[in-house]
Amino acid sequence: MNSNSKVLALKYRPQTFDQLVGQKVIAESIFNSIRNNKIPNAYMFLGIRGSGKTSAARIVAKALNCVNGVENLCTENFCESCKSIIEGNNIDVLEIDAASKTSVEDVRELIEFSRYKPTSAKYKIFICDEVHMFSKSAFAALLKTLEEPPSYLKFIFASTDVKKIPVTIISRCQRYDLSRVNSEELFNYLHKINELEKGEISDDAIKLIVKLSEGSVRDSLSLLDRALLVDNQGKKLDLKTAHKIFGYFEKTLIIDLIECILNGEEEDTLKMYKNIYNSGVEPKVFLNEFLETLYYLKNINFIDLNGTNFELNDKEFDKILSLSKITEKKDLLILWQFTLNNLEKIDIIKNQHQFIEMFLVRLLHLKKVLKGAKNREIKDLNINKIMPENKIQVKKDTIDQLKSIEQEEKITSKPEVKNIIDNLEINNFDELIKICETKKELKIKYELENNLRLVSFKDNKIEISFNSNLDKMFVKELTAKLLEWTGRRWIIAFSKEVGLPTIKEKRKDLEKKLFNSVSKSDFSQKIKKIFPDAELLTAKKENE
């Protein structure tokens, strides 16, 4: 295949450690370990998509097997070993996708294959992408070989989800966490690629690509590919055209919309949103951008545009800065929480466009409430300023006196509570349950029926089998109620005996017996002959 026909992500895939974008420290660490012959049994590369995990794995494989050695790693005129690894046909470097090879049988095949020494290379290498997709049994089968592999065998794992990888696997690997690529570094890289491809893309458009890629080199190259394919009639691709290509819209529109909300301008707010929606922006994307703008309004004083931050351009930065100066931070936090709650609910609405319009109307009313509350606070402050200190004190004393009188009335009018003894007779367990039902002690009744295994019930003493499901306060509460109901003190003791089944268990056993009896009855058999697909779901007694 002609290199010019390749997508940029493949055409400019890193071939040496120094070509890895944004991973300088990790690249140096791996290079030094190979140069000093301190090579681990297995490498583990972790990070987001497009951070360079697979590229790093292939570079390590080449560095271990290159005939020129790691210090003279092939860059252009590739040796046979490096060339075959790049083309993916090296018989000693096996690259598999764990998403399609998840079972323990697949791992056993790899282990069996690893018994044989490399054919032409120095090391036999297994590169396993998305290793977190392996099953538990597959990981277990891999453990022993991973810990003590033959000297010629090396493993290189890559994954985007470290939480799904067992700790026992990670502990046997040399772990490297590949970070998101710094915005400034990614911008310089894309600028260089743009020049190599002789593209006409403005710096502002490249900055937008950097922002949309979220630190992923592969994503940024895919976006750059799209931008390079646009026929802009000999002109540079500017930011406005880039917005249309990537389905993005200027943050200034959101800033203006928030300003209208803060000013209570309903008509202008809805009109602005309709313009944003008509430009092709999805409602959920709008809410996320809305949240992001609120974040910048709240924290604009701590954000620096210089260097690595391409989230805002100069125009957006200045506009947010001026709006933040006249906006209460407390109001922004309330709007943030309100928007966050609506983001969780948007998926249950069929017409999301209408949902956003009603969301904005509710925001406008919320702002009016906040404004009214603020005005009341100011009014209260003004009254306190106008009222002389002696009158404020008189008012406070009067309120205190009224409070004292009210409290005194409550205390004197409070009826006396007496412990009323019912002097009931409780002779057995069933009577106890009936009394609990009569007295509306449903919590105690629930414990008696569902969690209590009775050993004995006689002479004001109840013996029960220990059950961890019993409520911790059950014994104390039942003892107090028995004293209140009977006028006598009861002893509730735990026994080592198993005890009778709980009432709940007895009911289930009866239901099961009844079900089996009905299912085997002549009537059921006749029904099944007439309707072969018929199935008995439940059985009840006539009086139930």
Q: What is the pLDDT of residues 457-495, one digit of tens each?
A: 888 889 888 776 778 788 888 888 888 888 888 888 888
CA distance 421 to 426: 14
Distance of CA 353 to the CA centre of its chain: 26
How much is the pLDDT for 5?
63
Report how far residue 121's alpha carbon sits from residue 61's, in angstroms, rounded to the nearest whole number. Answer: 10
Please name the amino acid found at residue 409. E
pLDDT digits (tens, 9 = 90+) for 255-264: 889 988 888 8
> Can you tell me the distance from the alpha carbon of 42 to that of 64, in angstroms, rounded to the nearest whole number?
13
Mean pLDDT of all residues in 146-153: 88
Q: What integer pLDDT is reported at residue 158 of this predicted model?
A: 93
For the stretch 171-190, pLDDT in tens is: 999 999 998 888 888 999 99
Q: What is the pLDDT of residues 89-135, one digit of tens each?
A: 888 888 888 878 778 888 888 888 788 888 888 899 999 999 998 88
Q: Which residues, 6+ apart, have CB-to-CB distance to 525 below 8 Å?
A: none
The answer to whether residues 120 and 97 touch, using CB atoms and an 8 Å cutoff, is no
Look at residues 305, 297, 201, 299 and name the one whose alpha carbon lies nearest to residue 258: 297
410: left (phi over 0), alpha (psi -120 to 50) or beta: alpha
Domain at 3-177, CATH from 3.30.70.3290, 3.40.50.2000, 3.40.50.300, 3.30.930.10: 3.40.50.300
3-state helix, strand, coil in the chain (%, to 5): 60, 10, 35
Alpha-carbon span 105 to 118, nearest angstrom = 22
Pairing of strands 124-129, 453-458: unpaired
Residue 201, strand partner residues = 237
Q: Do 55 and 127 touch, CB atoms closer than 8 A?
A: no
Q: Which CATH architecture has domain 183-245?
A: Orthogonal Bundle (1.10)
Cβ proximity of 45 and 160 under 8 Å = no
If we measure between CA atoms, which residue out of 509, 222, 466, 266 comes closest to residue 364?
266
| pLDDT tens per residue across span 264-318 | 888 999 999 998 888 778 888 888 889 988 988 888 887 765 544 566 767 777 8
- Asked if residues 206 and 331 have their Cβ atoms less than 8 Å apart, the reply is no
DSSP helix/strand/coil, 328? coil
Q: How far apart are CA 56 and CA 229, in angstroms?
A: 29
Q: How far is CA 298 from CA 171, 324, 330, 411, 417, in A?
A: 42, 7, 9, 50, 56
**Which of residues 527 and 15 earns the better pLDDT score?**
15
Task: For the sheet with 461-465, list strands across it.
Answer: 453-458, 461-465, 491-495
pLDDT average, residue stretch 63-70: 88
- Contact between 466 and 494 under an 8 Å Cβ cutoff? The reply is yes
3-state SS track over 109-123: HHHHHCCCCCCCCCC
- Residue spans of the domains in the chain: they are 3-177, 183-245, 251-370, 429-500
Length in residues, the chain: 544
Which letter does DSSP use for residue 235 in this model? S
CA dihedral 190, 11, 71, 177 (to 10 degrees): 60
The residue type found at 342 is: N
Stretch 140-165: mean pLDDT: 89
Task: Provide CATH code, domain 251-370.
Answer: 1.20.272.10
CATH number of 429-500: 3.30.300
Question: Is residue 212 within 8 Å of residue 221, measured between CB atoms?
Answer: no
How does DSSP classify residue 471?
-
User: By the 8 A CB rule, do 469 and 477 touch?
Assistant: no
248 has pLDDT over 80: no
Local structure of residue 19 (DSSP, 8 states) = G
State residue 112's pLDDT score: 81
- What average pLDDT does the chain have? 81
Report strand pairing: 461-465 vs 453-458.
Answer: antiparallel
Amino acid 159 reads: S
Please report, in angstroms and rounded to a whole number, the separation of the first and last CA atoms in the chain: 78
